[in-house]
Amino acid sequence: MSSLVIIDSECANLNSIYKAARKVALEPVISDNPHIISSAPAIIFPGVGSFAHAASLLSKKKLTEALLEAIARGKPFLGICLGMQLLFSKSEETSLSRLNEPSEGLNAVPGEVRRFPAGLPIPHVGWNRVDPVFEHPLFAGINDGAYFYFTHSYYARPEHKDNLLGLTEYGFSFTSAVISGNLYGVQFHPEKSGPAGLRLLSNFGKIIADQL
């Protein structure tokens, strides 16, 4: 059995993250099987696109409960881009079935996802700096202010400061990495971020190894 499962939610570029994980000596499998996911030793949850659409697909594919079970088991879990946003309680992006109401996330990290304010170029696309809030093994060997690749129109706002792991400037300081126990989320795409991104994935692999 693989020590790492990459979630197939139909809202991610799975090939990119799979190749990047293999490049740093991880041996992932890609799955949308709820039973495999709920019992996985570790998880990467990538995502791109609409929060509401992705949340709807998670429910349709019966992955919502499986993800929550995996998180509750305390195994290493890394959400990427939309995969990080879906860890939050809700998003300003309206629901597909309840127009003008916030879309609901997994509520694994209390807080909400908001659209960047008017006046800023949206989406926020390209390379930007990430400053860790404190030293953590996920960012070991990565310089403070290292550049990572972003592409998003919404940003996460944790309810509790204890969940802040990284910050990035884009008109204001927004959350670019979060933490809750063994649960991590990054707004950027490590698989598209060159050596710094690969180092982060390698660090996540070391976190997994320490838990096995």
For the stretch 159-171, pLDDT in tens is 999 999 999 999 9
Which of the residues are catalytic? 81, 189, 191
Half-sphere exposure of 203 (CA within 13 A, CB side): 18
Q: Is 20 helix (H, G, I), strand (E, B) or coil?
A: helix
- For residues 27 and 15, give the distance between their C-alpha atoms in angstroms, rounded to a whole number: 13
Residues 6+ away with beta carbon under 8 Å from 140: 199, 203, 206
pLDDT of residue 81: 97
pLDDT at 12: 86
In angstroms, how far is CA 190 from the centroid of its own chain? 10
Placement of tokens 């884009």 in the chain: 170
Whole-number pLDDT of residue 1: 46
- State the average pLDDT over residues 17-38: 96
pLDDT in tens, 62-106: 999 999 999 999 999 999 999 999 999 999 987 655 556 668 999
Amino acid at 82: L
Q: Where do the domains of the chain lie, and which CATH numbers do they carry? A: 4-211 (3.40.50.880)
Q: What is the DSSP code (8-state) at residue 101?
A: S
pLDDT tens readout for residues 42-64: 999 999 999 999 999 999 999 99
Structure tokens at 62: 């019966």
Please tell me the predicted confidence (pLDDT) of residue 148: 98
Dihedral of CA atoms 204, 82, 64, 5 in degrees, nearest 10, equals -30
Q: What is the pLDDT of residues 170-188, one digit of tens each?
A: 999 999 999 999 999 999 9
